[in-house]
Amino acid sequence: MSTKKEEKDIIKFLEYSVGKSGFSLESKVASTLSKTFHVSREVSYFDKDEKKGRRVDLIVRKQFPPESSFDKNKISHVGQVNFIIECKNIPGNIWIFSEEKEEERVTIPEWVSLTDSLGKEDPVRKTIPIWPIKNIPYVAGYDEFVFDKEKSNRSKKESNNLFSAIYSVTKAAAFEKTSIKESLDLTQYFDLKQKFIIHFMFIQPLILFSGKIFVTTYDGDTPTFRQVDWVQMKKDYVSKEYKEKRGEIHIVNVDKLDEYMELAMEHFSIGSQKIIQTQEKFRTAKNSLKHV
């Protein structure tokens, strides 16, 4: 048994160590999001490149439209957003991105549908956004620098925290998509008696960072730097085992987490009214898949 003095020393040590670790940020994020989202921590996924199991910090989920929108006497078909989250607690580092010019983009988020096999007849296709989230800078290239060595996990200029986070959430999102698809494929063969059927899911990779985020643009050879709260970049990873090119990765300063989640949910649930109005089409689509 520890003495009271030893216990105090241990607590001081843990307060300091946990405060500097990713575990501290992960716990803070989980506590914040659990008020309005379903939160899972340290979720396993299989890295097909490395042929080994890994873990992503958090997966948080939320359904839409809200329960109050539906007829209580009928089974309702809803959507869900799954955020695949990696937390990076490195306040001494700066992440910098090359901002791309403002333009109208057509981009399809990563999603899986119970009735995806119906192709163009899948009612989900008329409810999804086909553009990136507005008011979040769109970026391409990136780099990472140590600004304050005392608050960094690396002592040298070059660091790979951002690189590793990007590929971690990309691979974890790919695994989540496959897992969801397998579950939905099984679901179609049964008459479910629950109040709601999760008919489709968006899968959004998200990196939360405690350091500063900057974007840069060039006027000739002269760079201009601007601090921002968040950025989004095209998901683009190809290997022998992966071809991940649909949707974006979102990178957000953790202090803006609440604002980001509100913005993201508003974006992904843009088709809520359509979902409510066309419930019969969702039911018909699901019933057309029955085999037993």
b/e 253-285 (16+ beta carbons within 10 angstroms → b): bbeebeebbebbbebbbebbeebbebbebbbeb
Region 243-267 average pLDDT: 97
77-119: pLDDT as tens digits: 999 999 999 999 999 999 999 999 877 888 999 999 999 999 9
Q: With cut-offs at 50, 70 and 90, classify the pLDDT of residue 189.
A: low
DSSP class of 33: H
Q: Full-prediction pTM beyond 0.95?
A: no
For 75, other C-beta atoms within 10 Å of its C-beta total 17
Q: Mean pLDDT, to the nearest integer, of 237-253? A: 96
Contact 177, 80 (CB under 8 A): no
Q: Per-residue pLDDT tens for 115-162?
A: 999 999 999 999 999 999 988 999 999 999 988 888 887 654 446 899
Work out the average pLDDT over 170-199.
83
d(C-alpha 232, C-alpha 220), whole Å:
24
Assigned token pair, 45: 């996924």
pLDDT at 221: 81
pLDDT tens string 204-236 = 999 999 999 999 998 878 889 999 999 999 999
Please give the structure tokens belonging to residue 85.
């989250």
